[in-house]
Amino acid sequence: MDWVTLTRQQVEHDALPPVCMACGGPATCRVNASFSHTPEWVSWLYLAGIVPGIVAEHFLTRQMRVACPFCPKHRRHWAVLYWTAGVGWLVAGVLLAGAGFLLGTTLEALSPDAPYIGLGVGAGVGLVLWLGVLIYLCNTRIDATNVTAEEITLQRVADGFAKAVRDHRQPAQA
């Protein structure tokens, strides 16, 4: 994976090459995404209190909306993360809690509390698995590392997309 810096002019004029940001293949659709970036030191202001942190975050967060090119396979790049974060904990916890409860009922002869122990263990395992998947998705998504008034730097884009952006920009600058 690579990073790329896009200018505001490229973004506003929809001058991004038709290359998928996620895999580098041919892009057939555009997905609008709002990227924001807050300087890391702003989070330390929350130690001074909630109000200084909120005020600094409000004034120092920069945003830019980008029409991101994707292939049909990757057009739901961020939706998978959002659904996993929003509903995945419930699905993983309930399914594995039920499986643990069923396992516990089969072992009920060993201990009368086995179904409830299985329920707790199953829910715990489900939530840990969900958290692992969520961490993986967060660390592999395309995200902004810097947003200014004139440009945006995106990380974890496909090498093919980064190269296409750089090649596409070369003739214009020459």
Domain parsing of the chain, residue ranges = 2-21+29-70+142-173, 80-136
CB 103 within 8 A of CB 117: no
Give the amino acid at 90.
L
Instruction: Convert the pLDDT of each residue in 38-81 to its tens digit.
Output: 998 998 888 888 998 899 999 999 999 999 999 999 999 999 88
Query: Against a cut of 0.75, is the pTM above it?
Result: no
- pLDDT bin (cut points 50, 70, 90) of residue 154 is very high
Rounded to whole angstroms, how far apart are CA atoms 159 and 164?
A: 9
127 contacts: CB under 8 Å, gap ≥ 6: 89, 92, 93
For residue 116, pLDDT beyond 90: no
DSSP string across 78-104: HHHHHHIIIIIHHHHHHHHHHHHHHHH
